[in-house]
Amino acid sequence: MRVCPFCGTENEVFFKFCLGCGADLDDALGSTAAEEAPAAELPAPLVASTAAVMPPAEESIEEPLPSTLVQHKPSTDTSHRPRVERRRETASRRLPAASGRLVLILEDGTDGAVYDLAPERTVIGREGADICFPHDDFLALRHAEFVFSGNQLVLTPLATTNGVFVQVSHEVELRNGDVFRIGQELLRFELLAEVIKAPFAGPDDAVRLGSPIPEGAWGRLGQLIAPATWGAVYLLGGSDIYLGRERGDITFPGDGFVSGLHAVVMQREDRYFLKDLGSSNGTYYRLSRAMPLRRGALVLAGQQLFRVEH
């Protein structure tokens, strides 16, 4: 029902005018409703709360049970979980950090491949070694061994035919039977006093004939052209014997890898030394025993030339 606000007459809801006084009910009721309608309250201004806001609690996500156990009471046996952790540890475990490396020197003098040295020992060779060069026929299967001893890196030659050579960076003492290399010349150092101690008797016990030792000669250099074959032999006498391609007491004019003045063999009382004279390609001494290596040392094994960094 619609009640007229002027005369109080009740009218049907669809009447536009009041039956009692004829007033327009739409206008009368509309204005009255607007006057009587309470004013809408404005929302209170937002005030930043000074209370600490706690993050929502994290939901606990339980590992789902296998489908075959859904109908049963969950098992308290968690023996399967350590296996998962062990797999994660294995996947994240790293190999021990390398303690040094070998840098391969190419024929043009630039750096080539780099090979890490293990913290304890590393063997190089042709096959079955830690670092292999299968196409280098001058290498033995296991040719040389690099071993860290404290803060030193020690190079040990293994039982090989061609040996391991280290570049001469300072005077190296020579002993009877030592071998060194300048250019492409492989030279064996021998003391005559040791040579004449060798038996000279033939199979019939006769003493072999030989030329007398020249006065002042104390040693010799033999040119090795094959494992058991000597080429030229050079007698050593005096205190300093110079080797080179163009100058010196012993020259190798046909070897373009030998510098004009390359190296010197020195006598100091009863001791003998080898020294490089700033040659372009260096002088290399064959190791007969283990030797500590300095940083930046050059090592020649087979046809591979390395720079040692550690």
**Is the domain of 142 the same as that of 244?**
no
**Is the domain of 187 the same as that of 261?**
yes
Q: Which of 26-30, 58-62, 74-78, 85-89 has the lowest mean pLDDT?
A: 85-89
How many domains in the chain? 2
* Domain, as residue range, for 231: 169-198+216-281
Domain-located, residue 26 = no
Report the CATH number that the domain containing residue 270 is assigned in CATH: 2.60.200
Percent of the chain at pLDDT > 70 equals: 74
- Supply the pLDDT for residue 2: 77
Q: Which of 56-65, 99-108, 176-185 has the lowest mean pLDDT?
A: 56-65
Domain-located, residue 134 = yes
**Is the domain of 244 the same as that of 265?**
yes
CA–CA distance, 146 with 156 (Å, rounded to integer):
6
Per-residue pLDDT reduced to its tens digit, 118-140: 998 999 999 999 999 999 999 99
What residues have CB less than 8 Å from 157, skipping those under 6 apart? 143, 144, 163, 164, 286, 287, 288, 289, 290
Q: What is the largest CA-CA distance in the chain?
A: 168
Domain-located, residue 233 = yes
Domain-located, residue 130 = yes
**Is the domain of 179 the same as that of 155?**
no
Alpha-carbon dihedral sign for residues 148, 149, 152, 155: negative
Domain-located, residue 37 = no
**Is the domain of 194 the same as that of 133?**
no
- Supply the pLDDT for residue 136: 96
166 or 15, which is more confident: 166
Domain-located, residue 264 = yes
**Is the domain of 180 the same as that of 257?**
yes
pLDDT for 107 beyond 60? yes
- Supply the pLDDT for residue 200: 63
Give 157: exposed, middle or buried? Use CB within 10 Å, 0-12, 13-18, 19+.
buried
143 or 31, which is more confident: 143
Which residues make beta-bridge pairs with 286?
A: 165
**Is the domain of 117 the same as that of 221?**
no
**Is the domain of 227 the same as that of 124?**
no
**Is the domain of 271 the same as that of 176?**
yes
Report the CATH number that the domain containing residue 135 is assigned in CATH: 2.60.200.20
Per-residue pLDDT reduced to its tens digit, 2-23: 788 877 777 776 677 777 777 7
pLDDT for 172 beyond 80? yes
Contact 160, 293 (CB under 8 A): no
The H or E element that residue 301 is part of is strand 298-301
Q: Which of 2-11, 176-185, 271-280, 285-294 has the lowest mean pLDDT?
A: 2-11
pTM: 0.66
**Is the domain of 149 the same as that of 182?**
no
**Is the domain of 149 the same as that of 177?**
no
67 or 126, which is more confident: 126
**Is the domain of 186 the same as that of 107?**
no
Q: Which of 29-33, 216-220, 257-261, 296-300 has the lowest mean pLDDT?
A: 29-33
Question: Mean per-residue pLDDT for 258-269?
Answer: 96
CA–CA distance, 29 with 228 (Å, rounded to integer):
132
Contact 191, 218 (CB under 8 A): yes
Per-residue pLDDT reduced to its tens digit, 190-214: 999 998 876 666 677 787 777 888 8
Domain-located, residue 61 = no
Domain-located, residue 189 = yes
